[in-house]
Amino acid sequence: MNRKNELEQKIQMLEQKVVSNTSEMVSVQADLKIAKKQLEDINKPELTPLQFDLIQEAIEKGVDEFDFDDDGNYDKEFGINYDGKVHLESLDLTCTYELVEMITSRVHKLFTEAECPEEDDNSQVNNATHVEKVI
């Protein structure tokens, strides 16, 4: 009977350890997810809430300018049901690049482009002065 009690206690301790390790694993996974997100965001420029609002507004204006009512912007396929009714089988937006251009031009108006040094630019070279040791 003593052996049975020992085994039951051992099982309880192991179950508690499993619960403890599981909660620790969940915590470590959450920390890992946060660290990965921080690494992903490390080189992104920071924007203020106002800038995010301006970007959203620019996107909305770009979408509003697109003529969704122009049927020339779509590829359409029609079909006929078994009862003779015509139906639209598929509708594909064909000029998505125009929509993207409208949105992009609106967003670009919010920013100025930074000057980036060219790769062959020698202006980044350090000019060290000549130093002599005199004894």
φ, ψ (nearest 5 deg) of residue 112: -110, 145
Residue 79's alpha-carbon distances to 52, 59, 86, in angstroms, are 44, 35, 6
| 3-state SS, residue 104 | helix
Angle between helices 96-108 and 49-65 (to 10 degrees): 140
Lowest mean pLDDT among 15-19, 69-73, 91-95, 127-131: 127-131
Task: Give residue 33's pLDDT.
Answer: 92
Q: What confidence tens digit (pLDDT) does each residue in 1-59 have? A: 688 888 889 999 998 888 888 888 888 899 999 998 888 878 777 778 888 888 888 88
pTM: 0.45
Q: Is residue 61 a contact partner of residue 104, using CB atoms and an 8 Å limit?
A: no
